[in-house]
A and B are shown apart, each in its own frame.
Chain A
Amino acid sequence: MTKDNMIQVQNLTKMFGDFTAVNNISFEVEKGEVFGFLGANGAGKTTAMKMLIGISKPTHGAATVAGYNVLTEAEQVKRNIGYMSQRFSLYNDLTIKENIVFFGGIYGLSSADIKEKSQAMINELGLHDMADSLVGSLPLGWKQKVAFSVALLHNPKIVFLDEPTGGVDPITRRQFWEMIYMEANRGVTIFVTTHYMDEAEYCDRVSIMVAGKIEALDTPKNLKRQFQVDSMNQVFLKLARNIE
């Protein structure tokens, strides 16, 4: 195990009764990597992710995130990760500023820190006019951008993004990925689930889950070569058909 591995997963399994949602998966994610976690709905990617962020307990196996064991050091894990969920992660009836203050607060940031960061964030996103309007009144794309920035408020080492671009138009998606790259260049590790295959092309490496198992894991380029196709979409379809 190299020191640069931000996520280290070994034989992770989650069972709900007789149903195996996540079946014995193992992988590593390096520091600063944009790691795509792909799979059809119900393939088990959200369940796997929930175990990594400490809100679901593995049935078997072990995982470390940012160097801490998810089972025994959940508290430390939580301090070092950011999380943005597929469902909306901010409070609609609070203004952008109030959301920043609240989330900064629960991550233990000082008031001065919060003030500085929210100012920086508002500048960066160009939100001067909207800082005091309710989040509920923003277009979805803006909400997602703000939510992403809020997930980064406490300088996490890893950000988990659960289908962050669901329902967002292509241009905003493109902008969103630019934000992701920017953070990755700053050394933040990105763990992102998606079912848009074009987004998979943007990742450094992708894993594809089918029925609870990781069936492929490599760079998009290598995967396309391995399956002899032109796009990640075809990789995914081929893989799904082979399994069936």
Chain B
Amino acid sequence: MNRFIGFIKKEFYHILRDRRSLFILFGMPIVQVMLFGFAITNEINNVDIAILDHSKDVNTKEIINKIATSKYFSIKGFISHEDEIESTFKKGKIKAVLNFEKDFGKNLVTQKKATVQILTDATDPNTANTISNYVGSILQNYQQELNKGLNMPYQIVPKTRMVFNPELKSVYMFVPGVMTIILMLVSAMMTSISITKEKELGTMEILLVSPLNPIQVIVGKVVPYILLSIINAAVIILLSIFVFKMPVQGSLFLLGAESTLFIVNALSLGILISTISSTQQTAMMISLMGLMLPVILLSGFIFPISSMPLPLQLISNIIPAKWFIMILKGIMLKGVGLAYVWKETLILIGMTIFFIALSVKKYKIRLE
């Protein structure tokens, strides 16, 4: 036991005396959570739009007023001719133009139908899409007000309610993803680098010649990172609760337990990487390319898995992060218990055992 404590102490000296690893361990999680939380968002606010009103009647005025008073848009100009639309977009400020047809109000009354064209700058497709949805719902709203009191023969009124994230806050989607990325990065990359560092410097040989057996060496190297990763997970959860007001509906204990499971999973991947790479450089490249990219692209963090082509959907199943994100979303947003995430949990446990078994096998081969 004494040996073990000594080993862990030494590992902490390494971490605390290396500025780079200190930053990756403690600076990056906070920076990333802040970045994702504040800067990267799917919501739109105060988008600049321009109006091309060929009709200038009561109805168009009312619509323009509605748009101007919503917090999503601010009207930054009126143009009078179609030719100006392109040059307006080219200036870059204006993201959308509303083009009311001639005799908009008159058509509405006489033909029960009037047209307004919504042009959006689709150099940023996501924003363009969101803008046209928002404008669409403002128009629909106006239409319903007009029809109030009238007897419509048939009418379908879609009433949408967004459950689990009623305000559609993107931070709710990013927190589980960012937490997954950070835990993966810290656990897998840092352990694989710290183990290969000993190999590279030759101190691993000294450890293997000592009476410590290889498993003790690895456990001794990994335990400090388990502790640090748990602290990291706690910091991220606290940040998301107190800074981003993200609710944790489910049990905090379960959240902690699942996070620990994922940390161990990532650590076992880190050990596996260290058994196949002989330099810190290689370990870092494999961690970044082999772990980070799949975590970001294929875990469902940013791109929905259900809309991927089938081969990618299949590949996503072998990515631990996918299952952890599902667990996190379940616990944090839906407030479900183990009864609903046991399948994902079992998959993570299975993967962890597999990675550990594989690294033990590889590790032995390297000692031959």
List residues of A whose CB falls within 8 A of some B CB: 53-57, 75, 78-79, 81, 83, 85-94, 98, 101-103, 105-108, 110-111, 134
Residues on B with C-beta less than 8 A from A56 are 367-368
Q: Which B residues from 212 to 252 make CB contacts under 8 A with A? A: 212-213
Q: Is A107's CB under 8 angstroms from B211's CB?
A: yes
Compute how far the CA of A83 lies from the CA of B203 in the bound complex, rounded to whole angstroms. 11
Known A87-B201, A94-B10, A105-B6; 15 more pairs at CB < 8 Å: A55-B205, A57-B367, A57-B368, A78-B210, A83-B209, A85-B202, A85-B206, A86-B202, A88-B201, A91-B10, A91-B14, A98-B10, A106-B7, A106-B212, A107-B210
Q: How far is the CB of A153 from chain B (nearest CB, A)?
A: 11
List 30 A–B pairs whose Cβ atoms lie within 8 Å, in order of A's numbering.
A54-B209, A55-B205, A57-B367, A78-B211, A85-B202, A87-B202, A88-B201, A89-B202, A89-B203, A90-B203, A91-B13, A92-B201, A93-B14, A93-B17, A93-B18, A94-B14, A98-B10, A101-B6, A102-B6, A102-B7, A103-B206, A105-B3, A106-B7, A106-B211, A106-B212, A107-B210, A107-B211, A108-B2, A108-B3, A108-B211
Q: Does B207 contact A (CB under 8 A)?
A: yes
Residues on B with C-beta less than 8 A from A55 are 205, 208-209, 367
Q: Is B211's CB under 8 angstroms from A105's CB?
A: no
The residue on B at minimum CB distance from A59 is B368
Compute how far the CA of A106 lies from the CA of B207 in the bound complex, rounded to whole angstroms. 8
Residues on A with C-beta less than 8 A from B17 are 93, 134
Q: Is A106's CB under 8 angstroms from B201's CB?
A: no
Compute how far the CA of A45 lies from the CA of B17 in the bound complex, rounded to whole angstroms. 36
The bracket for how many chain B residues form the interface is: 20 to 34
The residue on B at minimum CB distance from A82 is B209
The residue on A at minimum CB distance from B212 is A106
A-B pair count, CB < 8 Å, reads 75
Q: Is B209's CB under 8 angstroms from A53's CB?
A: yes
Q: How far is the CB of B299 from chain A (nearest CB, A)?
A: 35
Interface string of B137-177 (1 = CB under 8 A from A): 00000000000000000000000000000000000000000
Q: Is A93's CB under 8 angstroms from B13's CB?
A: yes
Compute how far the CA of A111 lies from the CA of B9 in the bound complex, rounded to whole angstroms. 14
Compute how far the CA of A54 lies from the CA of B211 in the bound complex, rounded to whole angstroms. 10
Q: Is A89's CB under 8 angstroms from B13's CB?
A: no
Q: How far is the CB of B293 from chain A (nearest CB, A)?
A: 31
Q: Is A75's CB under 8 angstroms from B209's CB?
A: no
Residues on A with C-beta less than 8 A from B213 are 75
Q: Which B residues from 1 to 48 make CB contacts under 8 A with A? A: 2-3, 5-7, 9-10, 13-14, 17-18
Q: Which B residues from 169 to 203 make CB contacts under 8 A with A? A: 201-203
Q: Is A85's CB under 8 angstroms from B211's CB?
A: no
Using known A-B contacts A98-B10, A108-B3, determine if residue A91 contacts B211 with beta carbons closer than 8 Å.
no
Interface of B is mostly: helix
Residues on B with C-beta less than 8 A from A93 are 13-14, 17-18
Q: Is B13's CB under 8 angstroms from A105's CB?
A: no
Compute how far the CA of A87 lies from the CA of B209 in the bound complex, rounded to whole angstroms. 14
Residues on A with C-beta less than 8 A from B211 are 75, 78-79, 106-108
Top 6 closest A-B pairs, CB basis?
A: A105-B6, A87-B202, A83-B209, A93-B17, A102-B10, A78-B211
Using known A-B contacts A55-B367, A89-B203, A93-B17, determine if residue A105 contacts B209 with beta carbons closer than 8 Å.
no
Compute how far the CA of A90 lies from the CA of B367 in the bound complex, rounded to whole angstroms. 21
Residues on B with C-beta less than 8 A from A111 are 2
Compute how far the CA of A54 lies from the CA of B7 in the bound complex, rounded to whole angstroms. 21
The residue on B at minimum CB distance from A94 is B13
The residue on A at minimum CB distance from B16 is A93
Q: How far is the CB of A72 from chain B (nearest CB, A)?
A: 15
The residue on B at minimum CB distance from A78 is B211
Compute how far the CA of A158 lies from the CA of B6 in the bound complex, rounded to whole angstroms. 25
Q: Tell me which of B18, B205, B212 has the highest count of chain A C-beta atoms within 10 A of its own C-beta.
A: B205
Residues on B with C-beta less than 8 A from A83 are 205-206, 209
Q: How far is the CB of A19 from chain B (nearest CB, A)?
A: 15
Q: How far is the CB of B214 from chain A (nearest CB, A)?
A: 10
Compute how far the CA of A93 lies from the CA of B9 in the bound complex, rounded to whole angstroms. 13
Compute how far the CA of A53 lies from the CA of B205 in the bound complex, rounded to whole angstroms. 10
Q: Which B residues from 75 to 105 make CB contacts under 8 A with A? A: none
Compute how far the CA of A94 lies from the CA of B7 in the bound complex, rounded to whole angstroms. 12
Compute how far the CA of A108 lies from the CA of B213 in the bound complex, rounded to whole angstroms. 13
Residues on B with C-beta less than 8 A from A90 are 203
Residues on B with C-beta less than 8 A from A91 are 10, 13-14, 203
Residues on A with C-beta less than 8 A from B208 are 55
Compute how far the CA of A200 lies from the CA of B167 in the bound complex, rounded to whole angstroms. 80
Residues on B with C-beta less than 8 A from A89 are 202-203, 206
Q: How far is the CB of A159 from chain B (nearest CB, A)?
A: 11
Using known A-B contacts A56-B368, A57-B368, A107-B211, determine if residue A85 contacts B205 with beta carbons closer than 8 Å.
yes
Q: How far is the CB of B280 from chain A (nearest CB, A)?
A: 14
The residue on A at minimum CB distance from B214 is A55
Residues on A with C-beta less than 8 A from B10 are 91, 94, 98, 102
